[in-house]
Amino acid sequence: MADSSKTEQATSKRREKAREQGQIPRSRELPSLLAMTGGTTALIIMSQHAVSHWTTFYRMVLASAASSDLDSNGPVIFWSAVEVFRWIIPILLAALVLSLSAGLIQGGPSISPAALELKFERFNPASKLGQIFSLTGLSNLLKSLLPFTAIGWIGESCINSHWGVMVRASSFSLKSFASTLGSMVFEVAWKAGLVLLAWAGVDYLMTWKKMEGDLKMTKEEVKEEHKQSDGNPQIKRRIRRLQRRMRRKQALAAAKTATVVITNPTHYAVALRYTPDMAAPEVVSKGMNLLAQQIKALAAESGIMILENKPLAQALYKSVEVGETIPNTLYQAVADILVLVFRAQADVRKQEAMRRNRNASGELVTR
């Protein structure tokens, strides 16, 4: 019975872990069916020239046996071995290739070291007997009998439909009898193949549905997995606070090197730096709300000019990151600001120079 508390679909991490343990939905019937189909197809293709080939082979064997001894090193034993491998290897190879292809189609390549681990409980006869005589074992046995019951019905129908021919088979020639028997076998084979193919599809769907149910998770398991993957939310919040604090300190430290601070006036503050050797003004710091107020306060303490220009402040804040130069579209607006700044700085320097000159003249008169 499924656990009613497992209401959440399996996460990608849970599915990946299940795949590493070899838990992949696969039908055991499909590889067997394709292996049988491949072997049968190879046998049919090879049997088209089988009569003439084996006739020639037996003539050679009899001729060689009549003219020489049948010792272990003779050609007869060697030829027989070659013929056996010539017929067995293509059939086995076709069956192997199609069986492996069925596994790859269903779940792709998967090598699970966990599934290959040596576990001694797997060799415990008591547990195996318990599995055989359990409800699950009985259910699997009944499910396996369904396709074979259908195949038995197909065989019976084929015999009934050809019963008249089978009654008169004693009067047929060997070639006609072989042809009739071959057609009956082929009819049963392809109909049985269709039954097994349909059953393999049903078996795959049932296996997939059962595995999806087994992989479902409770809400607590999902939360715990997210916590393990992404970290504790409290620790993440603390890390984000520390990161914001570091960025604020860096922004305030960079603002001390600014040439001018452009404000919104209350929401935005963008600190620009420009020297004659620079290609374009650069945004060294920017902030919003509380950080903007801190940048303006620091600029006032450091003697950096603060100018209000709402459109320019918003444009710089939204379009230029810290460390980037301003775009071409804002050159003229920033240039007008810098002209005012440099004029003001020049006036301040001129006033300071005049003040120093007056102080120097007063000292000379006093002396």
Q: Which long-range contacts (CB under 8 A, 24 or more apart) does 61-70 make?
A: none
Residue range 202-212: mean pLDDT, rounded: 81
Per-residue confidence (pLDDT) for residue 111, from 0 to 100: 61
% of the chain residues with pLDDT over 70: 80
Overall average pLDDT of the 24-36 stretch:
78
Which domains occur in the chain, in start order?
Answer: 12-108+127-213 (no CATH), 247-366 (3.40.1690.10)
Q: Are 281 and 274 in contact (CB under 8 A)?
A: yes
Model confidence at 363, pLDDT cuts 50, 70, 90, reads low
Q: Which of 115-129, 194-208, 257-271, 336-350 has the lowest mean pLDDT?
A: 115-129
Judge whether residue 206 has pLDDT over 70. Answer: yes
Question: Average pLDDT of 116-140?
Answer: 63
Q: Which residue has the higher pLDDT, 78 or 229?
A: 78
Q: Return the pLDDT at 115.
A: 56
Mean predicted confidence (pLDDT) in 11-28: 73
Quote the pLDDT of residue 120: 62
The stretch 312-339 carries a mean pLDDT of 85
| Selected residue with higher pLDDT from 193 and 367 | 193
* Distance spanning both ends of the chain, measured CA to CA: 110
- pLDDT tens digits for range 225-284: 766 666 566 767 777 777 777 877 777 777 777 888 888 877 888 888 888 888 888 888
| Residue 201 pLDDT level (bands cut at 50, 70, 90) | confident
Close Cβ partners of 6 (under 8 Å, ≥ 6 residues apart): 213, 216, 217, 218
The pTM score is 0.45
Residue 358 predicted with pLDDT over 60:
yes
Res. 1 pLDDT band, cuts 50 70 90: very low
Q: Which of 19-23, 43-47, 135-139, 160-164 has the highest mean pLDDT?
A: 160-164
pLDDT for residue 215: 79
* Average pLDDT of the residues of the chain: 77
For residue 138, what pLDDT is reported?
64
pLDDT value of position 47:
76
